[in-house]
Amino acid sequence: MGDVPSASTSTLYTLQDFELCAMAVDLETVHVEALPEGAFYISDFVTEDEEDWLVNKVLSAPQPRWTQLSHRRLQTWPSPLTNNNTLIAFPLPLWLESIIIPRLKDLGVFKDSPHQAPNHVLVNEYKPGQGIMPHEDGAAYYPLVATVSLGAPIVFDIYEKHGIEGPGTGAAETIRRPKPKYRILQERRSLLITRDKLYTDFLHGIAEVTRDEDLGPDFVCNWNLLREKAVYRGGWYERQTRISLTYRDVLHVTKMGNAMKFLGGR
Ligand SMILES: O=C(O)CCC(=O)C(=O)O
């Protein structure tokens, strides 16, 4: 497991260099059974070369694309939502679209969502010691998130909502960090789908630690679905930089012209 390559040192593939293969997996075979409905985990969702190419694209985005938050940095594609949780219609960039969206379609992941495809992607980068407090993603989105992990593994924690709701709703991050009810290990190059009750009735977060511990079949819900268990034989993993691409379907979408009218333009 190496560090995330820098934009300048990564091999410069073009999209044409990849033979984009279809994703012929029956979701039922990758269901995370230890969790409430519904989570699915595919360990080998993108190849090593595709991972390298995607990381390079993330890291070579212009600096203003990044929002530096206190515990991670973030890119929002195609744009942040308006104050009333509406997306201004604009296509996703080709690099976020080309490899991943056809595979999500093959799997039928967004087939029941309003636009039958994701229209919004949040890109998160976590250095060792960084994370995201327990929160829920809220009502702006269809209740499904498809997360592609790049660069390094990380543990994704799931919390019962009861008793730890923070001072707001939506993506408000809570102050206290109780013990997670479930833990999912996301390997680099994997896809995690969370939907249904897991989206609506639970909170999720990533601990701000430099090492993920208690890694084994008794504490990791998707242990049986991992690609590479030997890495965790000591029961721990020293964090390295990890990038996530989180694909969602925003429910309300408006054309730019309508948004301008709403804002008082002509
Ligand atoms: O990076 C991740 O896997 C989780 C990100 C997340 O929780 C969010 O964007 O709401």
Could you tell me whether strands 242-248 and 120-126 are parallel, antiparallel, or unpaired per DSSP bridges? antiparallel
Across the beta sheet with 182-186, the strand order is 132-135, 202-206, 154-160, 182-186
Domain assignment present for residue 171? The answer is: no
First to last CA, the chain: 54
Residue 176 pLDDT grade (very low, low, confident, very high; cuts 50, 70, 90): low
pLDDT at residue 258 greater than cutoff 80? no
Domain assignment present for residue 177? The answer is: no
Domain assignment present for residue 231? The answer is: yes
Domain assignment present for residue 9? The answer is: no
- The pLDDT of residue 37 is 84
Task: Report the predicted TM-score, pTM, of the whole model to 2 decimal places.
Answer: 0.89
Domain assignment present for residue 172? The answer is: no
Give, in order, the Cα–Cα distances in Å from 76 to each of 111, 158, 249: 23, 23, 13
SS3 annotation, the chain: CCCCCCCCCCCCCCHHHCCCCCCCCCHHHHECCCCCCCEEEECCCCCHHHHHHHHHHHHCCCHHHEEECCCCEEEEECCCCCCCCEEECCCCCHHHHCCHHHHHHHHCCCCCCCCCCCCEEEEEEECCCCCEEEECCCCCECCEEEEEEECCCEEEEEEECCCCCCCCCCCCCCCCCCCCCEEEEECCCCEEEEEHHHHHCEEEEECCCCEECCCCCCCCCCHHHCCCCHHHCCCCEECCCEEEEEEECECEEECHHHHHHHCCCC
The rounded percent of the chain whose pLDDT value lies above 90 is: 76
Residue 263 pLDDT grade (very low, low, confident, very high; cuts 50, 70, 90): low
Mean pLDDT along residues 143-159: 97
242 lines ligand 1 (CB under 6 A): no
- The pLDDT of residue 163 is 55
pLDDT at residue 1 greater than cutoff 50? no
239 lines ligand 1 (CB under 6 A): no
pLDDT at residue 80 greater than cutoff 70? yes
Per-residue exposure over 149-164, b if at least 16 CB sit within 10 Å of its own CB, e if not: bbbbbbbbbbbeeeee
Domain assignment present for residue 16? The answer is: no
Per-residue exposure over 182-211, b if at least 16 CB sit within 10 Å of its own CB, e if not: bbbbbbbbbbbbbbeebbeebbbbbbbeee
Identify which of 58, 124, 150, 199 to mutate to test ligand 1's pocket (most ligand atoms within 8 A of the CB).
Answer: 124
Distance from Cα 2 to the centre of ligand 1, integer Å: 22
Domain assignment present for residue 169? The answer is: no
Task: Report the CATH number at residue 35.
Answer: 2.60.120.590
User: pLDDT tens-digit profile of 234-252?
Assistant: 999 999 999 999 999 999 9
Rg of the chain over CA atoms, in angstroms?
Answer: 18
pLDDT at residue 174 greater than cutoff 50? no
- The pLDDT of residue 15 is 76
147 lines ligand 1 (CB under 6 A): yes
Mean pLDDT along residues 145-171: 79
pLDDT at residue 11 greater than cutoff 60? no
Domain of residue 47 covers: 27-161+182-264
pLDDT at residue 116 greater than cutoff 80? yes
What is the domain count for the chain? Answer: 1
- The pLDDT of residue 72 is 94
User: pLDDT tens-digit profile of 44-57?
Assistant: 999 999 999 999 99
- The pLDDT of residue 95 is 96
Domain assignment present for residue 55? The answer is: yes
194 lines ligand 1 (CB under 6 A): no
Question: For ligand 1, atom 2, which residue shows the shortest CA distance?
Answer: 244
pLDDT at residue 117 greater than cutoff 90? yes
